[in-house]
Amino acid sequence: MTTPSTAPSAERLDAAVRLVVDRLAPDQIILFGSGARNEMTPESDLDLLVIKDDDGGSSNHERWQCPESGDQIDVVIMSRTTVERHRLSASYVQGAALEEGRTVYLRAGATATATGPTYTWNGTTMVRTTKFEPDHAADLLERAERKWATANREPHPVDKCEYLQRSIEYALKALITADGRRVRHLHNLDGMWREAEATGDTIAATRDPKQLERLSRYAGQWRYDKLPADEDPETTWQQNRTTGEDVLNHARRRVPQLIEQTREALANRTPGAIGGETPPDPATPPDPAQGTAASRSHQSRGDERKR
């Protein structure tokens, strides 16, 4: 049975905002992630971009538990300078936060950082605009490599599962970014896997949604809370280790190829072909998994995208 997705209740959101305001005295708080997309499940946390206009460029990522509601909160703390620098980013978290998020707190007298998609005129029409960042795709792949090495080095099964989850997550995000597409703020491995394959590039690994869902929880509730009695992290590690290695091997091979294909599509683009999409009909919101025209052009290169 599928768990229904919802928006966070006003009570839960208010409690989280009060906690952040009391601790950090921010200028602005932006709700993003599953809460902003109305896709929250009982396992979801609250993702908050916290803007403090005081340091010119630093950032921090913290994980809190709200005493009032019991919610886990991902708190991404950044200066306005850092947030604006990556507004058009297809892969940095602040790019996704600004595009999909909404302001839930603004300090009196503070200037609001705008949220929502960015559109630019391409000579014919307005197109939704993001920025292709091949260097960040390579960086995500490098992070996946480091997490994989750490997972195999850690002695404790819970830590092994946590780092394995992060290795797969970064590898999948590297594939999406290298394809010139927007990376959503997700920790759900099955959802990211489906997004990575959305333009027809089949990942050379076995996808087991139930196992991926189990492993995904090590990025959230099982990382911070007591494991349920029926969860054995050693078994989870053994059941998912090969999948993690296969996904990483696929990313090692495909990310450089996808970067070059996307660069080629950018160099040869026609107006509106990549870097944006036409504004959607308000009655039909865009599918976040839908690729740019460059990624769609990759589909026609079937021989290149087979395992």
Domains of the chain, each with CATH number or no CATH: 10-116 (3.30.460.10), 118-307 (1.20.120.330)
Q: Give dist(CA 274, CA 268) in Å, integer.
A: 10
Helix (H, G, I), strand (E, B) or coil at 292: coil
Strands 119-121 and 102-106: unpaired
Q: Give dist(CA 94, CA 88) in Å, integer.
A: 9
Nearest Cα to Cα of residue 262 among 199, 192, 171 = 199
142, 256 contact by CB (below 8 A): no
pLDDT the model gives residue 189: 93
Per-residue pLDDT of the chain (307 residues; tens, 9 = 90+): 445 568 788 898 999 999 999 999 999 999 998 888 888 877 778 999 999 876 555 568 888 889 988 888 889 999 988 888 888 876 678 888 888 899 999 999 999 999 987 777 767 777 666 777 788 889 999 999 999 999 999 999 999 999 999 999 999 999 998 988 877 776 789 989 999 999 889 999 999 999 999 998 888 666 656 788 889 999 999 999 999 999 999 999 999 999 999 888 877 764 444 444 544 544 444 443 343 333 333 333 333 333 3
Please name the helix (run of DSSP H) or strand (run of DSSP E) that holds residue 64, with its range, or none. strand 59-65
Instruction: Please count the other Cβ atoms lying within 10 Å of the Cβ belonging to residue 119.
Output: 15
Q: Give the pair of three-digit tokens for residue 207.
A: 């996808």
Burial of 48 (0-12, 13-18, 19+ CB in 10 A): buried
pLDDT the model gives residue 72: 85
- Helix-strand-coil percent breakdown of the chain, rounded to 5? 45, 15, 40
Between the CA of residue 83 and those of 48, 169, 252, 283, 287, what are the distances in Å?
Answer: 13, 23, 29, 29, 24
Q: How far apart are the first and last CA of the chain?
A: 33
Q: Where are the alpha helices (DSSP H) in 179-208?
A: 189-196
pLDDT the model gives residue 290: 40
180, 292 contact by CB (below 8 A): yes
Helix (H, G, I), strand (E, B) or coil at 256: helix
pLDDT the model gives residue 172: 96
Between the CA of residue 196 and those of 47, 175, 183, 288, what are the distances in Å?
Answer: 22, 6, 9, 11
pLDDT the model gives residue 122: 65
Residue type for 153, please?
Answer: R
The sheet that has 59-65: what strands, in order across it? 59-65, 72-78, 46-51, 28-32, 102-106
pLDDT the model gives residue 237: 96
pLDDT the model gives residue 182: 78
